[in-house]
Amino acid sequence: MLQRLLIVVLLFISQEFLAQKLVFDLNGRVNFTQPDDNTVRDTLMGYSSTKLDDTTVIRTYYNYIHDLTSDYISNTGYEINGLFILKLSNRFSIRTGIGVQFGSFSTGRNFDFVENQFTHIDTVHEEIVNPFPGVIGMPCDSFENSYSDVATGISDRTHQETINLSIPAEIGYDIIPGKLIIRAGGYFHTPLYAATKRSYVTTEHTTKENMTICKYVRVDEKNTATTGISNFQWGLSAWLDYQLLPYIQLEAGMRQQINDVYAKQNYNSFSNARGFEPLTFSAGLSYRM
């Protein structure tokens, strides 16, 4: 009987403590991610051929050194969070919870040639075969349209859309109790949805009366797999909260991601982009329940 009474008393005390110390915030934010770029020096092996006769060529081998730059331009993003705040003392608190973020950005790529490095020369047997018999040069006798008719308005950038699940963990300090709070900590992101989109021009071929007729066509591709997006994205955050009304707070802050948005292995060959660690500034409103 005494044990049951103690359990009831402890439950009552814990409920009273949580009622006084634990509050719930529902907030919405607008996110502005800064443009970023990443440059990697890469080497491709290649060769040029000089024909000696119909079956023999001299190959001169080179290493083609170039800089590959990927740049990232983000659109305005949005998020909504349900957060729990536990008061540790009159001034200190911890905040955590769960949220959903909606974001998108585009990626561009640029190749800058650096130099050719000669490696060696070989004389090899290579039978010269025309891959398009009866056709010299381009395998099209005529075109139904022009390239500019189709390519107008097509961007060479790849577009990425993401929906992330977000979990923050922050420590807060009341500079002015009940009015002004600073918070610092970290966060964890994992993708719930990702879509990569791009457009390009290719050709379709038809044969009429022994002639190859070509047509330029636009192709719009969309890949909704999250392959290549890192499942574990984390970073550091800092926030400033200002009490506008008894239940309404104005919030502003920044987040710096530490690791790459893209996975280092098995990265998304569709977008073929790497090296994005976004810096994001945010502003929003919180409703404290």
CATH number at residue 230: 2.40.128
Question: Residue 170: CB partners within 8 Å, gap ≥ 6?
Answer: 94, 95, 96, 183, 184, 185, 186, 237, 239
pLDDT recorded at residue 135: 46
pLDDT recorded at residue 237: 97
The b-or-e profile of 119-153 (16+ CB within 10 A means b, else e) is eeeeeeeeeeeeeeeeeeeeebeeeeeeeeebeee
CB distance 142 to 214 below 8 Å: yes
User: 247 lies in which domain range?
Assistant: 22-288
- Write down the mean pLDDT value for the chain: 82
DSSP string, 105-137: EEEEEEEEEEEEEEEEEEEEE-----SSTT--S
Tell whether 16 is covered by a domain. Answer: no
Asked if pLDDT for residue 87 goes beyond 60, the answer is yes
Q: Which residue has the higher pLDDT, 52 or 134?
A: 52
| DSSP letter, residue 146 | -
Asked if pLDDT for residue 16 goes beyond 70, the answer is no
Asked if pLDDT for residue 136 goes beyond 60, the answer is no
pLDDT recorded at residue 17: 45
Average pLDDT over residues 126-134: 52
Tell whether 8 is covered by a domain. Answer: no
Asked if pLDDT for residue 271 goes beyond 60, the answer is no
Lowest mean pLDDT among 70-74, 109-113, 235-239, 254-258: 109-113
For the ranges 165-169, 205-209, 271-275, the maximum mean pLDDT occurs at 165-169
Asked if pLDDT for residue 233 goes beyond 90, the answer is yes
Average pLDDT over residues 70-87: 93
Cα dihedral 37→43→44→50 (10° resolution): 130
| Closest residue by Cα to residue 236 from 183, 191, 275, 181 | 183
CB distance 101 to 31 below 8 Å: yes
CB distance 289 to 26 below 8 Å: yes
144 phi/psi in degrees, rounded to 5: -75, -25
Band the pLDDT of 222: cuts 50, 70, 90: confident
Tell whether 15 is covered by a domain. Answer: no
Average pLDDT over residues 127-137: 50
Tell whether 17 is covered by a domain. Answer: no
Q: Which residue has the higher pLDDT, 173 or 47?
A: 173
Tell whether 121 is covered by a domain. Answer: yes
Tell whether 74 is covered by a domain. Answer: yes
Q: Give the total number of structural domains in the chain.
A: 1
**How many percent of the chain have pLDDT more than 90?**
37
pLDDT recorded at residue 77: 96
Q: Decide: helix, strand or coil at residue 19.
A: helix
pLDDT recorded at residue 42: 79
Distance CA 23, CA 48 (A): 70
Tell whether 227 is covered by a domain. Answer: yes
Distance CA 120, CA 24 (A): 69
Tell whether 272 is covered by a domain. Answer: yes
17 phi/psi in degrees, rounded to 5: -65, -45
